[in-house]
Amino acid sequence: MVELTRRGLLFVLSSPSGAGKSTLAQQLLRDDGNLELSVSVTTRKRRTSEIDGHHYHFIDEAHFHQMAERQDLLEWAEVHGNFYGTPREAVETALSKGRDVLFDIDYQGTRQIAEKMSADLVRIFILPPSFGELKARLERRAEDSSGTIERRLENAKHEIREWESYDYVIVNDDLGRSYAKVKAILEAERNRRERVTGLPAFVTELLDEAAELTKGTGSEAASAGTAQK
C-alpha cells in the first residue's frame, strides 16, 4: 500500500500577556512528542525565571536588525517596546522532517507568517475570562513593574481586537478545559485530508484491492438468488 505521510504544521498560540498561552504551550510540548517550539529571538531583558535558548534567545538590537536585514527571520515585530522574531532556519528544518512547530507569538508575527505559509498554518487566540482577571494575573506574576503592567494592559486592548483574524478562539476560564480544546484542535488539524500526502493514491489502491477481493461475489449472489426461485 502507498505510505501515508503528513506535512509539518505551523501551530500558533496568541493571546494578551497574562491570558495563559505560554502555560498552554508548555503543557503541549510536554505531552506531544511530534511538536517542537519555535524559540524566538528577542531584545527584551531576560526575566529571572527564564532560560536563554529555552524560553527565548536573548540578543541585542544590533544583532536583531542584522538578522532581519539578512532575511534570517520568518517574522518579526516590535511588542511592548522590544523586538521579537522567529529564526527561519529552525522552522524550515523541522517542517522538512514532518514535525509540527509551535509558535508563541503575537498577532503581528502571525499575520506575517500567514502571508508566507498560510496552507499549513493553524491560528488559535486565547482570551482571558475578563479584563479584571487579566490584570490580576499580571499582578500575581510579580515579574514586571507597575509601569510595564500598565503598558501590557493597554496593548492587550489592541491585541484582543485582532481576534477575528484567528481560526479558533478559546476563553481561558479553566486551564484544564482550555488545554483539552487546544489539544483537540491540534489533532483534528493534523488529520485534515489535504495535509495527508499520498491519500488519493492510497484510496485508489484500497478500492482496487476491494474490487479484486470481491471479484465475482456479485454474480455469485445473483445466481444464488435465481436458484432459490
Tell me the residue ranges of DSSP E strands in the chain: 5-6, 10-14, 35-37, 41-42, 57-58, 73-79, 82-87, 100-104, 121-127, 168-171, 196-197
To the question of whether residue 22 is assigned a binding role by annotation, the answer is yes
pLDDT the model gives residue 4: 82
Cα within 13 Å of Cα(63), Cβ side: 11
To the question of whether residue 223 is assigned a binding role by annotation, the answer is no
Residues 6+ apart with CB under 8 A from 139: 149
pLDDT the model gives residue 97: 83
To the question of whether residue 17 is assigned a binding role by annotation, the answer is yes
- Helices 175-190/21-31 angle, 10° precision: 60
pTM of this prediction exceeds 0.95:
no
pLDDT the model gives residue 70: 94
Residues in the chain, pLDDT under 50: none
To the question of whether residue 145 is assigned a binding role by annotation, the answer is no
pLDDT the model gives residue 226: 57
To the question of whether residue 87 is assigned a binding role by annotation, the answer is no
pLDDT the model gives residue 222: 54
Which residue shows C-alpha cell 510536554?
Answer: 30
Rounded distance between C-alpha atoms, residue 86 and residue 83, angstroms: 11
To the question of whether residue 129 is assigned a binding role by annotation, the answer is no
Superfamily of domain 5-39+98-206: P-loop containing nucleotide triphosphate hydrolases (3.40.50.300)
**What are the residue ranges spanned by the domains of the chain?**
5-39+98-206
